[in-house]
Structure 1
Amino acid sequence: MKELTIEQLADAYEDYFSVEHGISINAKPIAGALPTAGELVAAIPPPFLLASDVNSLNGSALRSLNRLGELADELANYLQQQARKIDLLLHYVLKQQDNPSERFTTQSYSGSGCCYLANAPLAPLQTLELKLFLANNDGAVFCYGQVVSCESVAEKWQIKVVLSRIRDEDRELIVRASLHQQSRLLKQKAEQRQQT
């Protein structure tokens, strides 16, 4: 796959709906060209692969129960509780992958990229190793990104990153998490309007 220009990256950054929400990320600049898809898969830490597998298994197990009708409600509830326990354990294991020296909080994120504030600037097209820790135990993603822009904002640097090398299932996970967060924000706004 050929390297993209800044203009192409800027277009790619707009491919998905973005939600303004802070999630914890690790962003580590790496030297050299953007790793290949094969290099990405080889570099993904085992806890991230495990979390991805567990998420897909949970979804398929609950979908198959839906076909059983009313009798499956209690079983589905029990399985959801067990899945929740596993999610909590995985969340703990994934947090061990969080490096405080590389930690930032996003201003916004989407299936195509994220935006965060940093103390130092990064050059456009700089390749980053990214770990995104999604909110509400929605999972975590390991991928590679490229800096699309870096602008000075109130003595910090606002860095926009395109998720350039990411597995399809991980992008879907980020999209689902952003949609869930958008739903939560809309619900909060509706509740606030009702209270006033």
Structure 2
Amino acid sequence: MFTDPNPYFSVPHHFTAYLSQWPNSQPLPSEMALRSMQSLGIQLLSEVKTLEANCLLQLRHLDNDAKAVVDFLKLQSRKVDLVLQHVLEKETQEGEKCIGSQFGGSGLRLFTPSALAIGTHYKITLFIHDELVAILCFGKVVATQPITAVQSQNNEHNISAESAAKPCDAQWQADVEFSQILEADVEQLVKASLNVQQKQLKLRKLSRDEHQ
């Protein structure tokens, strides 16, 4: 999918992204500057998820009697994540709204209403609702092609219409590689991509079992 020589695993999955073109004359922000650009909602969600991960990691070392406590804490943490994400999605978002079709730790694949110039950098606010992921990052367009060409390729490879579904106003598909992203956010995306893959594999297995 992406041109990085060591790309992370990526999965097909729909999500929402807001893109704002970054001036070519302006350098990409440092990690510290990127953190300062995050909205309050993204900061809160990121901090909560980090605390949850550290807490649950420590609880794994407890004996089996603590399993009920761990499950309860996971439920409570998910409630907090859902509330924070709901608040975050109500914030006014900057940039053009696009629908994504694939993501991973290296980058994204997006449907866009117009062609994005290759080599252009964008500030991206990314929401993967099912996985409770919300991040701010920067990405560079590395490939773009019209949807008609994508549909032709899908037909050649027998890709289902459902997996290739796109918004009605989208005319182009773009591949975007991350050019500035926090390491913790890469970890979030990698974990989310693995979770999505596991869910997809379970669904396929259930579908095969039902047809046997």
Q: TM-score range by the shorter chain?
A: 0.7 to 0.9
**Maintained 8 Å contact 1:13/1:161:** no
**Maintained 8 Å contact 1:127/1:146:** yes
Q: Indicate the residue corresponding to 2:22 in structure 1.
A: 30
Aligned-partner residue type, residue 195 of structure 1: E
More deviation, 98-107/57-66: 98-107
In structure 1, how many angstroms separate the alpha carbons of the residues matched to 2:81 and 2:89? 12
Q: Which runs of 4+ in 1 moved over 3 A?
A: 97-101
1:110-145 CA distances to partner (integer Å, 9 max, x unpaired)? 111111111111211111111111232432111011
Q: Residues 118-137 of structure 1: matches in 2 within 5 Å?
A: 118-137=112-131
Q: Indicate the residue corresponding to 1:17 in structure 2.
A: 9
In structure 2, how many angstroms separate the alpha carbons of the residues matched to 1:188 and 1:14? 29
Q: Indicate the residue corresponding to 1:188 in structure 2.
A: 203
TM-score calculated relative to the size of structure 1: 0.87
CA RMSD, 1 decimal: 2.0
Aligned-partner residue type, residue 36 of structure 1: P
**Maintained 8 Å contact 1:13/1:162:** no
Runs of 5+ unmatched residues, structure 1: 1-9
In structure 2, how many angstroms separate the alpha carbons of the residues matched to 1:103 and 1:152? 18
**Maintained 8 Å contact 1:34/1:127:** no
Q: How many pairs align?
A: 187
Query: Given the alignment of the two structures, is residue 170 of structure 1 paired with residue 185 of structure 2, yes or no?
Result: yes
Runs of 5+ unmatched residues, structure 2: 149-169
1:20-64 CA distances to partner (integer Å, 9 max, x unpaired)? 111111122122334132332221212112111111111111222
Q: Return the offset for 1:194.
A: 0.1
Query: Given the alignment of the two structures, is residue 96 of structure 1 paired with residue 90 of structure 2, yes or no?
Result: yes
Aligned-partner residue type, residue 56 of structure 1: T
Q: Return the offset for 1:13.
A: 7.7
